[in-house]
Structure 1
Amino acid sequence: MGIKILTVLLLILKILGIVLLVLLGILLAFLLIVLFVPVRYQGSGYREEGDPVPVHVQLKVTWLLHLVRVSFIYPEEAFLKVKVLFFQILPAKEKKKKASNKKEADGKKPKTDKKEVGSDVSDTTSDQKISDEGNAADEDGGDDRRTLLDFVRKLFSAIRNIKYTIRKIYDKINHIIHNIRYYIKILQTESFKRAFVLCREQLLRLMKIVLPRKVSGTFTIGMEDPAATGQILSIYGILYPLIGDSITVIPDFEKPVMEGSFRFKGKITAFTLIRIAAKIYFDKDLKRVICLFKKEAVQNGRK
C-alpha cells in the first residue's frame, strides 16, 4: 500500500515538474521574442503643388510578423490605430448614444424700471459726494497733524531695509560663487570625464539604432527670389556628403514651388536599448558624479 502511494506521489511530482518546465520554456521564449524581435517602422509622405493639404503622411509600426500593428494616416485618418491580430485596440469602438431632447423652460426675467434705478443712483451719488467731502476735510486735518517723529521713524526703517537687502544680495552672490566653484571642480574630475565619454558614445549608438536606416526623397523647391533658391541649393550641397544620393533636391528658378515625396524605414530592438541603458545605469563613474551633485544639493537645502 505504501509503495503505491509513493508511486502516485512521484508521478504527480513528475507531471508538476514537466508542467513547470513547459511554463518556464514558454516564459523564456516570450522573453527572447520581446528582447530580440525588432520593432519595424516605416513612413512616407508627399506634397503636390496646388493641393490644399500641406502634406500627406502615412506612418506604420509593426512587431512580430505584423501581429501588432500601429498606423497613422494624415489627413484621411488623423488618429492612431492599434491592432493586435484581428482585434482593434485603439481607437475603441464608441457606442451610439441616443440623443435626448430636453425642453427648455420659458422663464421670463422680470424687467426693472430704468427710471427708478436712475433716481436711486443719483440719490446715492449725491450722498456719496457729501460724505467724501467731509472725509477729505478730516484727512487733510490728519495730514497736518503728522509729527516729525513719525517721519524720522519711517526714514530709519527704510535705511534698515536697504541694509538688510544689500546683505542678502551679498550672501546670495557668495553662495552662487561657491556653487560655481564646486561644480567646476566636479567637471574637472577624471570620473566626470570618463562618464561624459561613456554617455556620448552610448548616445551616438542610440541615435544610430533609433534613426531610420533607409531614407529616400525627391523635392522640387523654388522661391520667389532666385537668390533664396540658390541659398537652399548651397545648403543641400553642404549636406550632400552626409545624405548622399538618398535625398534629391531639384531647384526651380522660374516660379515658386514646393512639392515632393519622401520615404523612410528602420527598426529598433529592445535588447540593444536595454544594453545601452544598463551600461549607463551601472557605470561607477556616473554614479560617483551624481552623488557629488546630490551632496551639494543636500548641503544647500534643496532636498
Structure 2
Amino acid sequence: MILLTILKWLGIALLCVLALLLVLCMCILFVPVRYHISVTCMDRWSAHGVVSWMFHILHLSFDTDGKKGTRLRIFGFPVSARENAGSRKRKRKKKASGVPAGSREPSQKEPEKDFGKPEVSLTEVKQMHKEPESMENETMEPSGKKKRSRFIALRNRVKKFFLSIKGIFDKIKAVDREGLQLIRLLLVNGGKLLKHIFPKKVRGWIHFGTSDPAQTGEILGAVSILFAMYGQGVRVIPDFDQAVFEGKVELRGSLMGIILLILVIRVHPIRLVSYLDGK
C-alpha cells in the first residue's frame, strides 16, 4: 500500500509537470511577441523601443539616446545589472580613497587669471567686422554639404544592395535542380516570415530634400513606392529648395511562435542541411 501511494503521488507530480510544460509550450507558440520602436532624426539619430511577451512578463527595452541602454526584466525584476555593478564599484573606490560618494574629487588649483589688456590680432579684427550675410553663408554651407553627403551615401548603399541581389541571382543560375527547389522554398517562406514580422502600424513623418530638385524627385518616387501601403500613416514632405533630412517614425508589430515554427518546417531544414553538407 505504501508503495502504491508513493507511485500515485509521483504520477500526480509528473502529470503536473507535464501540464505546466504543455501550458508553457502553448504560451510560447500562441502568445505573440509585441514590439514598439520609435526612430527620430532631427540633429542626430536616436531610437528607443520596447519588446514584450506575455503581459510584460518578459520586457526588453533599449534606448540609444541616453544612459538607460538595454534593459531586460522578468516579472518586473532586472536581469542584467551591469550599470548597478559599475556604480557599486565606483562607490567602493571612492570610499576606499576617503572621498564621500556624493562629493566631487578635489580639483587642482586653478591658475591665476590675467585681467590685463587683451591682445587682438589684425585677423581677429577683420573677422569681427565681417558682414552678417557672409557669416550666415559660412555656417549654412557645411550643414547643406553634410546633409547632401548623407543622401549620396544612402544612394550608394541602395545601389550596392541591388548589385548584390543581382550577383546572388547570377549564382543561382548555376545551381542544380534540387538546389533551386530549396532556394525557392527559402525565398517563399522567408518572404512570408518578413511579411509576418513587418510592422502592422507605421505612423510618423519624413521631411527630406537635396539641393538638386531632380535628385529630390527621384528619391520621392522611390519613397512613395516603399510607403504605398502606409500612405495614411506616414507623411512624406519633400523640400526642393534646401538639403534637409529629419523625421520621426513609430513602428508597431508582433510575432507568433506558431507561424515561425510552420515556416521553418516548410523549408525542410533536415533536407537543406544534408544538401549543404553534400556540397
Q: Distance in 2 between matches of 1:233 and 1:185?
A: 34
Task: Give the letter for the 1:61 counterpart.
Answer: V
Q: Is the 8 A contact 1:186 1:292 kept in 2?
A: no
Q: Is the 8 A contact 1:40 1:266 kept in 2?
A: yes
2:130 is matched with none
1:79 is matched with 69
Q: TM-score scaled to structure 2, two decimals?
A: 0.62
Q: TM-score scaled to structure 1, two decimals?
A: 0.58
Q: Is the 8 A contact 1:42 1:265 kept in 2?
A: yes
Task: Give the letter for the 1:10 counterpart.
Answer: L
Task: Give the letter for the 1:188 counterpart.
Answer: D
Gap runs ≥5 in structure 1 = 1-5, 102-182, 294-303
Aligned pair 1:246/2:236, yes or no? no
2:176 is matched with 188
Task: Give the letter for the 2:276 counterpart.
Answer: I
- Where is the helix percentage greater, Structure 1 or Structure 2? 1
**Could you list the per-position Cα deviations for residues 225-250 of structure 1 after superposition, in whole angstroms to 9, with x for gaps in the alignment?**
33333332233344454543333211
Q: How does 1:25-36 map to 2 (within 5 A)?
A: 25-36=19-30
Q: Distance in 1 between matches of 2:240 and 2:173?
A: 56
Gap runs ≥5 in structure 2 = 98-170
Q: How does 1:269-288 map to 2 (within 5 A)?
A: 269-282=256-269, 284=271, 286=272
The 1:24–1:225 alpha-carbon spacing in structure 2 relative to 1, beyond 3 Å, is same
Aligned pair 1:23/2:13, yes or no? no
3-state DSSP of counterpart to 2:93: coil
2:197 is matched with 210
The 1:213–1:19 alpha-carbon spacing in structure 2 relative to 1, beyond 3 Å, is same
1:224 is matched with 211
1:261 is matched with 248
Q: How does 1:128-143 map to 2 (within 5 A)?
A: none
3-state DSSP of counterpart to 2:267: helix
1:98 is matched with 93
The 1:187–1:21 alpha-carbon spacing in structure 2 relative to 1, beyond 3 Å, is same
Question: Cα RMSD over matched residues?
Answer: 2.8
2:275 is matched with 289
Count of equivalent residues: 200
1:62 is matched with 52
